[in-house]
Amino acid sequence: MTLDPDLFSDCGTDRPLIRIGDKWTMKIIVCLRDGPRRFGELIVPLRITAKVLTESLRAMERDGLLTRTAYGENPPRVEYALTPLGRTLLEPLAAICAWSAAHQPEVLRARSA
């Protein structure tokens, strides 16, 4: 079997694919699926460092997957929410999670072999 060197030509640039495949992007999307959350409400369930969370949120905002809303309050309050584009990832992510759950025993057997 030979692989076509242009196999991924329909994907265009690799950058969006890298973001979607990033470990933290998918976890952040799951955390935001039910609505906006503050930074502290993301850091606890994700068990992520503040630096990595900040970098991930900025990259996702830049890619149009989430919005950052800063409120003019004291103390300052910032919320993150999925954009309509970000919400389009919920269905494929659910399919990946279902596949993972269905095939976990097979994967674990393969790993131990």
Identify the CATH class of 10-112.
Answer: mainly alpha
Supply the pLDDT for residue 20: 75
Mean pLDDT of 40-60: 94
Supply the pLDDT for residue 6: 57
Q: Looking up tokens 């690799």, which residue turns up?
A: 14
pTM: 0.79
- List Cβ neighbours of 63 (8 Å cut-off, separation of 6 or more): 16, 19
- List Cβ neighbours of 31 (8 Å cut-off, separation of 6 or more): 37, 41, 42, 45, 46
